[in-house]
Amino acid sequence: MNTDTAKSDIIDPIDRIRALMDITQSLSAIFARENELLETRRPREIAPLQAEKARLAAAYAQSIRDVASNRAAVQHADSTLLAELRDITAGFEERAAHQRSLLEAAARAGEGVVKAIAEEAAAQSSAQSYGGENRAEAPPISINEKA
């Protein structure tokens, strides 16, 4: 038996559940903050949160493994505690799904901007044919970096 297994067998199942709850709540709070920043078009402010998010994601994965490694003992925990864990996990999953939709929308918007620029460049290129003569004067392109 290795020391990690022996160590994880000593941890009380209730403590494992509470640790998972704490980590899930902390990670959920980061997702909520990131979602707020995305919704208010301040994605640059997300960068400082990434180190803590990565640390918590690793701790979350380990905590899930810890709970799963002793599922039988955890199943006998107080049903109220398990219900609270399910509620916390559901909230976390909702925030993660919302973030995924925000990021997908931002990616589509970015792709739309790139496509519009490419189309405008192609239109300007075709308008400047036959010896560089400009046949159509296109309005300047403006890009809102906060969008």
Q: Is 117 a member of any domain?
A: no
This prediction has a pTM of 0.70
User: What backbone torsions phi and psi does residue 128 show, to the nearest 5 degrees?
Assistant: -100, 70
Which residue range forms the structural domain that includes residue 56? 3-104
Q: Is 123 a member of any domain?
A: no
Q: Is 81 a member of any domain?
A: yes
Q: Is 120 a member of any domain?
A: no
User: Which residues contact residue 13 at a Cβ distance below 8 angstroms, ignoring those fewer than 6 apart?
Assistant: 67, 70, 73, 74, 76, 77
Q: Is 133 a member of any domain?
A: no
Q: Is 22 a member of any domain?
A: yes
Q: Is 135 a member of any domain?
A: no
Q: What is the pLDDT along the chain (147 residues), one digit of tens a residue?
A: 444 544 545 568 888 899 999 999 999 999 999 999 999 999 999 999 999 999 999 999 999 998 888 888 787 788 899 899 999 999 999 999 999 999 998 888 888 888 888 888 888 877 665 455 555 565 666 666 665
Q: Is 83 a member of any domain?
A: yes
User: Which residues contact residue 137 at a Cβ distance below 8 angstroms, ignoring those fewer than 6 apart?
Assistant: none
User: In the chain, how many domains are there?
Assistant: 1
Cβ atoms of residues 37 and 46 within 8 Å = yes
